[in-house]
Amino acid sequence: MRIEISGLTKTYRGGVAAIDGLDLAVPTGMFGLLGANGAGKTTLMRILAGIVRPTSGRVTVGEHDLGTGAGRTAVQRDLGYLPQDLGVYPDLTARQFLDYVALLKGMDDRTVRRRRVGELLEVVALTEHADRRLRGFSGGMRQRVGIAQALLADPQLLIVDEPTAGLDPEERIRFRTLLSQFAGRRTVLLSTHIVDDIGQTCREVAVLAKGRLIFRGTVEELTRRAQGQVWSVVTDGPAPTEGTVVSALPHDDGMRYRIVAPSAPSPGALPLEPGLEDGYLAVATGRGNASRQPASPPGRRP
Amino acid sequence: MTTFVASLRYEFRMQVRKRTVWIVPALTLVLFVLIGGSLLRDLFDPGERPVDPRTAVVGLAVQLHALLSIGFGCLLADRLIRDDRLRVASILDATPASPRARLLGKYVGAGAATAIPVAVAYFGFAAAYAVDTGEPRALGWALAAFGAVFVPGLLFVAAFALAAPLVMPAPLFRVLFVGYWLWGNVVSPDMMPTLARTLVHPLGGYPLAALFDFHGIDGQEAWAGPIPGATLNALRPDPTPALAWLSIALLLIIAAAVLAGGHALRARRVR
């Protein structure tokens, strides 16, 4: 299911532009979405989920136009959505909650619905807690219920916003693998702050800033944006002020800083091979090298 | 239809499990009996109870409706806003289910669950009265009174209870609702403007007067019609059966309009 977004703008009351003239094509498969808080990722996902209406622009998912009621309903029939601010009904059990969402997704056949709910409880390792009220679930368990509800109707389009938040490392890896296996011929749009999750699952990625697209390309291309800009600095003094500190590790001679900066941030700085996180930071801070592919068509803002 | 039924079923299930749904009416009744409880006691006193079983159970309906609807409205006040408060709304809004059908299911499901203790109390007292007096007709009148007096009034209250907290905090709604209920049902309309005895009186003055020929336990009270010197008399024509049905229809139309307004307001905010 290919997503085509052109000239998309969403301005909330009070004149706050969450999305500002966005053009983006999302192909089938896993696609990552990165950006700082307030970049417009969640608004974009809520528009794609048919919850929020754009102020202007056009969005098509497959052959359906999200600008029409019929188009939104058609997309929602094939949609799995895991919101960032996931909530559940505390007075229902996990099985009941999933059954309710399945009914709202149009899964009318009771036998099919019960089987599917059971399968997904197994997938997210909640079978033994299936008949416990959600009130007593931990954040990670609730997140797993959220993941299960998103997969209920075997969606062709899966939109997941910060899906690994609240999961322990093992659960995170399990969920990443699940997403990759699930993607296949489907479209999975993954938004996260955890850059490593993108690197482990997505071939292509987009970076948003202030509602605009500032990068679109492969994960390798994003990584290369930091080529020649990643440095290792060891010092027992204060952290270098030049560039963006990616990490700081205690070292025998003080602290070892990993820094993204266009030039050596201090005389003893050693160049390093960039990683995806470095590439993201280089792009997000506006220091990334020029892209071979423009993020937006000519004539639009970059 | 599936959406409506699913929403009704799960909203009913969630609401009926709330302990407060049972505790609030039970405490209200206990307190009422302790502080006097007039008819609730008199029903079982051969020297005090009305001779006519219709008067007895319709009078009981009026008293319980006036009393238990307060808790009914307060208990429903969080139902619509809680989807947003619990952060479940995004998941539900992303399904292809019609938001209107979901709202209607919530309204009927949560409303029915909250009305169950009210019905249990009413039919419990009516059944006990029927057994005590050997008057099975009392149960027939109780059924009729529940349908024509309780149900429209509760649907009216439920619509406001769901929608009003969209424009004000739920605790404030509860305070205002209790104030309105006491003002509208206790204060005499010739002292200050109230909806009592009008066509839109949620206590069902017109059905009481015109369908049940009810004029109070002592037969001396007027439940519908004009009051000399009172404002809003334009809404108080002389009661007739046709006007009684019109009164019921008006309550339901207002309830539908309030719900539709709530739906439109929420949709506008989300989008």
Of A246, A284, A287, the C-alpha closest to A263 is: A287
Question: What is the CATH classification number for the domain harbouring A14?
Answer: 3.40.50.300
Give me the pLDDT at residue A252, please.
Answer: 82
**Within chain A, what is the greatest distance between any pair of CA atoms?**
69
Asked if residue A83 belongs to a domain, the reply is: no
d(CA A300, CA A186): 30
Residue B38 has pLDDT above 80, yes or no: no
Three-class DSSP category at B57: helix
According to DSSP H, which parts of A105-168 are helical? 110-123, 139-151
User: Once rounded to an integer, what is the mean pLDDT over residues B185-202?
Assistant: 85
- For residue B77, CA distances in Å to A14, B158, B162, B261 come to 29, 8, 5, 16
The answer to whether the CB atoms of B95 and A101 lie below 8 A apart is yes
- Whole-number pLDDT of residue B191: 80
CA distance B101 to A73: 14
- Same domain flag for A165 and A260: no
**Structure-model confidence comparison of residues A164 and B205, the more confident one:** B205
Paired tokens of A137: 């679930």
Do A165 and A69 lie in one domain? The reply is: yes
Of A50, A74, A88, Cβ closest to residue B88: A88
Burial class (CB in 10 A: 0-12, 13-18, 19+), B191: exposed
Domain boundaries, given as residue ranges, for chain B:
2-270
**Are A137 and A245 within one domain?**
no
The residue type of B148 is A
Listed residues A221, A248, A272: the one ending a domain: A221
Cβ of A85: how many Cβ atoms within 10 Å? 11
Q: What's the pLDDT at A295?
A: 46
What pLDDT shows up at residue A278?
A: 93
Q: Are residues A204 and A264 in the same domain?
A: no
| 8 Å CB contact between B25 and B68 | yes
Asked whether residue A205 is assigned to any structural domain, the reply reads yes
Q: How many C-alpha atoms does A202 have within 13 Å on its Cβ side?
A: 31
pLDDT given for residue A294 in this prediction? 42
Show residues of chain A in contact with B88, CB under 8 Å.
87-89
Burial class (CB in 10 A: 0-12, 13-18, 19+), B248: buried
Judgement on whether residues A248 and A268 belong to the same structural domain of the protein: yes
Q: How many domains does chain A have?
A: 3
**What pLDDT is recorded for position A156?**
94
A301 within some domain:
no
Residue A118: predicted pLDDT: 96
In chain B, the percentage of residues whose pLDDT exceeds 90 is: 73
Instruction: Compute the distance between CA of residue B105 and CA of residue B68 in angstroms, rounded to an integer.
Output: 23
One domain, residues A27 and A60: yes
CB within 8 Å: A76 and B95? yes
B141/A54 Cα distance (integer angstroms): 55
Each residue's pLDDT tens digit, A238-284: 888 888 898 899 888 888 999 999 888 888 889 999 999 999 999 98
Taking an 8 Å cut-off on Cβ atoms, the answer to whether A76 and B92 are in contact is no
Q: pLDDT under 70 in chain A at which residues?
A: 287-302
Q: Are residues A22 and A107 in the same domain?
A: no
A215 and A184 in a single domain? The answer is: yes
Dmax (CA) of chain B: 63
Residues of B in contact with A91 (CB under 8 A): 14, 17-18
Query: Do A106 and A251 have their domain in common?
Result: no
Yes or no, beta carbons of B93 and A49 under 8 Å apart: yes
Average model confidence (pLDDT) across chain B: 92
A96/chain B closest Cα distance in angstroms: 8
* Residues A59 and A171 both lie in one domain: yes
pLDDT of residue A205: 96
User: 3-state SS string over A41-106?
Assistant: HHHHHHHHCCCCCCCEEEEEECCEECCCHHHHHHHHHCEEEECCCCCCCCCCEHHHHHHHHHHHCC
Chain A residues in contact with B96 (beta carbon < 8 A): 73-74, 76-77, 104-106
CA angle, residues A269, A270, A271, in degrees to nearest 5:
120
Under the banding of pLDDT at 50, 70 and 90, the label for residue B37 is low
Please indicate, yes or no, whether residues A48 and A175 belong to a single structural domain of this protein: yes
Q: Decide which of A174, A189, A221 is a domain's last residue.
A: A221
Secondary structure (3-state) at B246: helix
First to last CA, chain B: 25
| Residues 6+ positions from B20 with CB-CB distance below 8 Å | B75
Q: What is the distance between the alpha carbons of residues B71 and B85, in angstroms, rounded to a whole number?
A: 22
Four-CA torsion A134, A137, A141, A144, nearest 10 degrees: 10
pTM for the model stands at: 0.88
* pLDDT tens digits, one per residue of B51-73: 888 999 999 999 999 999 999 99
Q: What is the DSSP letter of B163?
A: H
Interface of A with B (CB under 8 A): 46, 49-53, 73-74, 76-77, 79, 81, 83, 85-92, 96, 100-101, 103-106, 108, 146, 149
Q: CB contacts < 8 Å between A and B, how many?
A: 80
pLDDT > 70? residue B34: yes
Q: Which long-range contacts (CB under 8 A, 24 or more apart) does A163-171 make?
A: A163/A82, A163/A190, A163/A192, A164/A192, A164/A194, A164/A197, A165/A84, A166/A139, A166/A140, A166/A142, A167/A140, A167/A143, A168/A140, A171/A140, A171/A144
Contacts of residue B181, defined as CB under 8 A and 6 or more positions apart, other chains included, come to B66, B69, B70, B73
Give the residue from chain B lying closest to A150, CA to CA.
Answer: B91
**CB B86 to CB A90 under 8 A?**
yes
Structural domain of A117: 91-146
Query: Are A251 and A215 part of one and the same domain?
Result: no
Give the separation between CA B192 and CA B184, rounded to whole angstroms.
Answer: 10
pLDDT of residue B1: 67
In A, which residues are within 8 Å of B17 by CB distance?
Answer: 91
pLDDT in tens, B219-247: 788 888 888 888 888 899 999 999 999 99
